[in-house]
Amino acid sequence: MERAYRILCRTETIVAGFCLLAMVALVLIGGIARLSGRPMNWTGDVATCLFAWACFLCANIAWRNDALMSVELLTERLSARLRHLLGSLNYLLITAFLLYVIGAGLWLSWVSRARTFQGIAEVSYSVITLSLPVGGILLLLTTIRKFAAHMRGASNGAAA
């Protein structure tokens, strides 16, 4: 199971990197095309789609690597037991929010399945809206793993 998770993380990192690089390349190509008098309006639309996917994938990568901003000014003054309880509450709130995001994202993807993406008949708007539940699922997996590690730390006598 751990090997499958590592493969998922590596794949997520590669896809996120591709989305970011492709997004920058498309914006650059669109700008050069517009400057040369032959605008390619679709480049901005595709870059927007890649941006939506990159946001969620990169958010999960940052969450997994503890690279998100945190303010510990108040929590560092609390007792170890209270810090652990507050950490547990935080993970439960994040989990509840992500479950809502997944459900709402799946509903949004379902209701937008017939809508075309920027008038391109072959591409459904769900290509973009699926980034919400997929990103939510990935974030939820990371949150569950972090919460389990948090609980293991408490059972070993080390408060998180």
Q: Are 94 and 146 in contact (CB under 8 A)?
A: no
| CB within 8 Å of 40: residues ≥ 6 apart | 29, 30, 33, 34
Amino acid at 149: A
Backbone φ, ψ for residue 117 (5° rounding): -80, 110
Q: Is the pTM of this model over 0.85?
A: yes
Q: Which tens digits make up the pLDDT trace of 60-74?
A: 999 999 998 888 888
Across 66-96, b (16+ Cβ under 10 Å) vs e yields eeeeeeeeeeeeeeeeebbeebeeebeebee
pLDDT, tens digit, 9 for 90 and up, residues 81-106: 999 999 999 999 999 999 999 999 99
